[in-house]
Amino acid sequence: MINIIVLFPKLEQAKSIRNLLVRNGFDVTATCTTGAQAIQNIDNLDQGIVICGYQFADMLYSELREYLPSTFEMLLVASKNHWVDCRENDIVCLSMPLKVQDLIDSVHLLFRTVEIKRKKRKQNPKERTEEEKAVIYSAKCMLMEQKGFSEEEAHKYLQKKSMDSGRGMVETAQMVLDIF
């Protein structure tokens, strides 16, 4: 699920944007008035879009952008004279006064962008740390010793148990180590 966080210095503005989005079929995860609130919400989420104004009580949009993980996109709603750094930082901008259709189209565009990034991340396999590799190797050694498996058989056994249980290979290997 792609989360939407609406952040404006005045609560009335944030609620009005949220209501606009909800009426057009979007789920809004949080409505905030400070950058700190937005960051707190973002820390609990995997991916999403931040729709915000130029300045909040505690920071500017550019400072908030620095805190955003790469899995989040930003939509800045501000007058054109505040758009100076947007192009370099991959921030989508909308001018004030806001046109409803422009907002909806921009949010759809950002949804597609987030979705494409998510698919690319899934295509690249996650590299295991040395510690994780050591846990898997130890579990294989334990299986080879206790059950007389070859290394390949031990690996296939861990893979099968991992898939059957719906757990990751490292977690399954740790469980094998805990059992023996």
Query: CA 168 to CA 158: how far, in whole Å?
Result: 10
Cis peptide before 125 (omega within 30 of 0): no
Spatial contact of 19 and 6, defined as CB atoms under 8 Å apart? no
Q: Are residues 14 and 66 in the same domain?
A: yes
Domain span at residue 117? 3-123
More confident residue, 50 or 96: 50
Query: CA 170 to CA 21: how far, in whole Å?
Result: 41
Q: Residues 151-170: pLDDT tens digits? A: 999 999 999 989 988 888 99
Instruction: Return the residue matching tokens 């370099």.
Output: 88
pTM above 0.75, yes or no: no
* Domain total of the chain: 2
Q: Which of 31, 22, 36 is nearest to 51 (CA)?
A: 31
What SS3 class is residue 51? strand
* Res. 32 pLDDT band, cuts 50 70 90: very high
Task: Give the CATH number, domain containing residue 96.
Answer: 3.40.50.2300
Q: Are residues 84 and 172 in the same domain?
A: no
Q: Are residues 158 and 69 in the same domain?
A: no
Q: Are residues 24 and 97 in the same domain?
A: yes
